[in-house]
Amino acid sequence: MMNNTFNLSRFIKLFKRHSIANYKPYLMLLLILIGGLSIALGYTSMNANSFISIEQYTMFQLCLFVSAPIFTAGIFAELGSQSKSISFLMLPASNLEKWLVAWVYSFVIFLVVYIACFYVVDAVVLQIANASLKQPQKLVNIFDPKHRLISDLVIFSLLHALSFFGAVFFRKHQILKIGSLLLVLYFGMIYVNAAVLTAMFNTEVNVGQLFSSVSFIDGNDYYHINESPIISSASSYIFFIVAGLIWSATYYRLKEKEV
């Protein structure tokens, strides 16, 4: 049995093996991602009076939060087949190295490829849209502080961690089960968030971004409250710590599957 240590040479060999074995489905998923981004950005540009940066960034968020769990759900596809599962678990590599290859592909590489694809597609769509816009728009800068990319990357990390764990935990239909789980969690949090805020303010509220803003009417006065920067930073740290714990749980779940 391969002990759970890390060896760089062995990790590189495993990484190459994974790349060679999966380059065809990954290329197919890349084309699907480009197609999905083209449809989303194209539709938005045609149905908006101006294709401003906030609209472009909203599509960046939406497509990232949808595509990331779908890709991550299949990262341990071998575990869904008994024959492939045995071959995967018997590979001359430690569980840590297997976990790390899957994590690097589904988190680091996916994020880099996604951002690159988004900018390529957005540039093409923007060039087409500007031909019919009275005021030509610029390509969105996702790193602009006003878009709060760090907060979105924390959410991405949490979504990835849950999908990563589900990819190991579920043996069949990972995408369907993980998608259902994420939807239940999302709508559950919306309900809890709205219920807590309604009880706090003792009035009907309009919830903005989850756990970060709220609006309500008191008599003739309208109020909109945003979380403080300190609370925002604390929330990000907490969510990232939770993601780290789930990543760790995924490793131990994978370790339990040793042959």
Residues near 195 by beta carbon (within 8 Å), at least 6 away in sequence: none
Establish if 3 belongs to a structural domain.
no
Structure confidence by residue, pLDDT tens digits, 15-38: 999 999 999 999 999 999 999 999
pLDDT band at residue 116, thresholds of 50, 70 and 90?
very high
C-alpha to C-alpha distance for 70 and 210, rounded to whole angstroms: 22
Residue range 162-204, pLDDT digits in tens: 999 999 998 778 788 888 888 888 788 777 777 777 777 666 6
Q: 1: pLDDT confidence band, cut at 50, 70 and 90?
A: very low
Average pLDDT of span 39-44: 89
What percentage of the chain has pLDDT greater than the value 90? 44
pLDDT at 63 over 50: yes
- 98 is in which domain, residue-wise? 8-256
Domain count, the chain: 1
Residue 2 lies in a domain: no
Give the H/E segment covering residue 185.
helix 174-201
CA-nearest of 161, 154, 187 to 73 is: 161
pTM, whole model, 2 decimals?
A: 0.85
Is 19 a domain residue? yes
Reported as a pLDDT band with limits 50, 70 and 90, residue 62 is: very high
